[in-house]
Structure 1
Amino acid sequence: MILSNPMYNSLSHPHFKQQTNTYTTISKTYLIPYFSVQIMDRVKRMVSERHVVIFSKSSCILSHTIIKSLYSDFGVNPTVYELDEISRGREIEQALCGLGCSTVPAVFVGGELVGGANEIMSLQLKMGLKPMLIKAGALWVRLIIYNT
């Protein structure tokens, strides 16, 4: 988590400011170091630009299983950010920890954090994932009307 990193808690660190800001999501408010607000804003922007966003690592088999499942079962095309391949990926990973997602994959649907692999698979088994994807606009429902 961001606040438990000794580098950020050290008053001698050149980027540390005693001032802190709050970052608010719909469900929670987090106290975060002042200098990481721009990273949280970047994460917020990344997840709000697409219907389904997955933060992953290129070596994570669970992430690729989730992506394959979304493709094959629903036809959803998620945006995938490989944290070990993008700039400032480590800082984004720390920001995700601050939002409550301590592992990858971190899946966002409709701009909201759904969780990791366990939460996605659980939703899929409970038949709750499809309605969530439809509500977010990631999945279109085709209505077939028969004339009688």
Structure 2
Amino acid sequence: MDKVKAYASEPGVVIFSKSTCCLSYTVTFLFQELGVNPSVHEIDRDPDYREIERALIRLGCSTAVPAVFIDGKLVGSTNEVMSRHLNGSLLPMLRPYQAQS
């Protein structure tokens, strides 16, 4: 779907989420704690949300939400993001997007 590809290709960190999903909230909070202000698209607030879910699955997301993209590349869902965070490979990907303190 063109809408998903357009959103996913935005620069920086993009998260597809649902407003009622606790895992989406957790992943978004993690990025914020790491100093990144992600662009969050709550798909359940979009009239095409069923199509967006299907498109995310077709793109390779294990679950529709949360789906995290960095620089237009799919990082994955909660499991992939947390695994990268725990093994130290997430932070280097985020350095260009961290707020300067």
TM-score, structure 2 as length reference: 0.89
User: Which structure 1 residue ranges, 5 or more long, are not aligned?
Assistant: 1-38, 143-148
Q: Does the 8 Å CA contact 2:13/2:38 hold for their aligned counterparts?
A: yes
Identify the structure with the greater helix proportion: 2
User: Which structure 2 residue ranges, 5 or more long, are not aligned?
Assistant: none
Could you say which residue in structure 1 is the equivalent of 2:49? Answer: 89
Counterpart of 2:44 in structure 1: which amino acid? D
Q: Does the 8 Å CA contact 2:62/2:76 hold for their aligned counterparts?
A: no
Q: Distance in 1 between matches of 2:80 and 2:36?
A: 17
Q: Which consecutive segments of 4 or more residues in structure 1 shift more than 2 A?
A: 139-142
Larger Rg, first or second structure (1 or 2) = 1
After TM superposition, give the deviation of residue 140 of structure 1 in Å: 5.9
After TM superposition, give the deviation of residue 139 of structure 1 in Å: 2.5
TM-score, structure 1 as length reference: 0.62
Q: Distance in 2 between matches of 1:139 and 1:48?
A: 18
- Tell me which of 92, 98, 101 is aligned to 1:131: 92
Could you say which residue in structure 2 is the equivalent of 1:80? Answer: 40
- Tell me which of 42, 62, 87 is aligned to 2:23: 62
RMSD: 1.6
Could you say which residue in structure 2 is the equivalent of 1:122? Answer: 83
Tell me which of the two structures has the higher relative contact order, counting C-alpha pairs closer than 8 angstroms and 6 or more residues apart.
2
Q: Distance in 2 between matches of 1:114 and 1:45?
A: 16
